[in-house]
Amino acid sequence: MASALNGAGNGGGGLMKVSLLRFQYYCVLGAVAGAVIFATLRYMPAAAGGGGAGALSTTSAVGTAAAPSVSEHRKSKGMVVAAKEATKVKDPEVLVFNFGDSNSDTGGAVAIMGIPIASPEGRAFFHHPTGRLSDGRVVLDFICETLNTHHLSPYMKPLGSDYSNGVNFAIAGATATPGDTPFSLDVQVDQFVFFRDRCNDSIIREESAPVDPKDFHKALFTMDIGQNDITSIMYLPYDQVLAKLPHFVAEIRRAIRTLHKNGARKFWIHGTGALGCLPAKLAIPKDNDGGLDEHGCIIKYNDAAKKFNELLSEACDDLRLQLKKSAIIFVDMFAIKYDLVANHTKYGIEKPLMTCCGHGGPPYNYDPKKSCMGVDKDTCKPDEKLISWDGVHFTDAANSLVASMAITGEYSIPRMRLTSLVKPAKSNDS
């Protein structure tokens, strides 16, 4: 996607560098996550050469996927069929609003920053880069497909966006903590309220609106954020890391409350992933990282991720009691993503800790200075099934597995299938 981010590609290196710097600046604006974001950016795809997939969110494990616009879908070969099918079966009842970082960015960050995008991002699915930090789809895309609706368009994407089934507010690099990044969760929530109010204005003026104000209460609100907050503090001693986690969770809690106050009723909240299993973290071990566990993942990162999820799950428990007439589902992404690593052979994955698009070969194929950029990168064969696309974000194949597990409800509290949440009761008769 953001090939532009890489300074490396062919030609245009200067331009790319400028873009990259701009991007970084943007990401870093608030600061805390600067380092992380910087790292993320690095692996933005190289310019023309097809660089890495860097995305804004260094932190987020999954790519920044930008929801491909309908036109994007149509352009890509594989998507032609999907787009047609989506049109055919598109469920007019489905409305999704998503908030998050690169794990669910479908092209927002690159659109904002004007970051050039280049192959090999998107090579496995869209067959062209879309601004997602992946070779294909992010988990949110699979969620939309499960709900028989097209991929969500990024709020900030001016061309080809279609908001008739909702909006994706996720921006790669975003934090839950306000001010740490320009599009932190509070801003994304404000953007939702703004969008809803403008729809209302339009209808009152008898103009058309992408979403009928009467329908907002039926919408699904999905969230996947926190990874950038966590990874940006992992340089601290573990007790200090633990002390900060409640603040991140408090922001997510606040966002859910604000959305509820504004009419949101159905929430699908992702916990964070197995951050200690990301090649980008494994390739640059720090003295205070502690050891590796039996599957080769960094214990300290994974412990922090699990603790964060525990707190977030508790917050969801509280909110369930406090917020009337709402359904709040917490999805344990750590369990899902760790299972993928621990039981990788079961999923047909040979090298669970290897980066597909990186540098340096085994064991991690990840060079923090280059990420998924440069003409000399070592990119895995298209038929190789790896978890990690660029060291931080997942491949289309891995995101597909993650999504298929998440939607079952088996990793959720309370246990509920995604489709049952969206279409309660006689949901299946459409």
Ligand X SMILES: *[C@@H]1O[C@H](CO)[C@@H](O)[C@H](O)[C@H]1NC(C)=O
CB of residue 273 vs ligand X: minimum separation in angstroms? 13
Size of the site for ligand X (CB under 6 A): 8
- Is 57 a catalytic site residue? no
Q: Which stretch binds ligand X (CB under 6 A): 139-147, 303-311, 337-345, 421-429?
A: 337-345
Nearest approach, Cβ of residue 417 and ligand X (Å): 20
CB contact set of 343 (below 8 Å; sequence gap of 6+): none
| By the rule CB under 6 A, 339 interacts with ligand X | yes
393 tagged catalytic: yes
Rounding to the nearest 10 degrees, give the CA dihedral for residues 257, 259, 260, 265. Answer: -130
Candidate list 3, 19, 102, 161, residue with the active-site label:
102
Encoding tokens for residue 18? 């400028």
* CB nearer ligand X, residue 345 or residue 428: 345
200 lies in the site for ligand X, by CB under 6 A: yes
Q: DSSP letters along 154-199, please?
A: BTT--SS---TTEEE---TT--SSTTSSTT-HHHHHHHHHHHHHHH
349-379 b/e (C-beta count within 10 Å ≥ 16 → b): bebbbbbbbbbeeeebbbbbebbbbbeebbb
The least CB distance from residue 284 to ligand X, in Å, is 24
Name the residue nearer to ligand X (CB basis): 160 or 213: 213
Q: How far is the CB of 219 from ligand X (least distance, A)?
A: 12
Q: Does 213 bind ligand X (CB under 6 A)?
A: yes
Tokens of 139: 């988990």
Is residue 408 part of the contact set for ligand X (CB under 6 A)?
no
Return the number of the residue (342 or 375) whose C-beta is nearest ligand X: 342
- Looking at residues 340 to 399 of the shown chain, list those that interact with ligand X (rule: CB under 6 A): 342-343
Q: Within a 13 Å sphere around the CA of 22, how many CA atoms are in the beta-carbon half?
A: 17
Q: Which stretch binds ligand X (CB under 6 A): 52-60, 165-173, 251-259, 334-342?
A: 334-342
Nearer to ligand X, 85 or 293 (CB): 293
Nearer to ligand X, 206 or 429 (CB): 206
Choice between 126 and 334, CB closer to ligand X: 334
Question: Stretches 126-134, 222-230, 306-314, 339-347: which one binds ligand X (CB under 6 A)?
Answer: 339-347
User: Which residues lie closer than 8 Å to 428 by C-beta, 6 or more apart?
Assistant: 419
Q: Which helix (H) or strand (E) holds 329?
A: strand 327-331
Candidates 15-23, 321-329, 338-346, 413-421 — which segment interacts with ligand X by CB under 6 A? 338-346
Active site residue 128: no
- State the sign of the Cα–Cα–Cα–Cα dihedral 236, 276, 223, 173: positive
Q: Which of 18, 80, 81, 204 binds ligand X (CB under 6 A)?
A: 204
What's the rounded Cα separation, in Å, for the pair 104 and 174? 11
Task: Tell me if 296 contacts ligand X by CB under 6 A.
Answer: no
The Cα-based distances of 287 to 79, 236, 284, 362 in angstroms read 45, 11, 10, 21
Active-site residue numbers?
102, 390, 393
Residues lying near ligand X in the complex (CB under 6 A):
197, 200, 204, 213, 338-339, 342-343
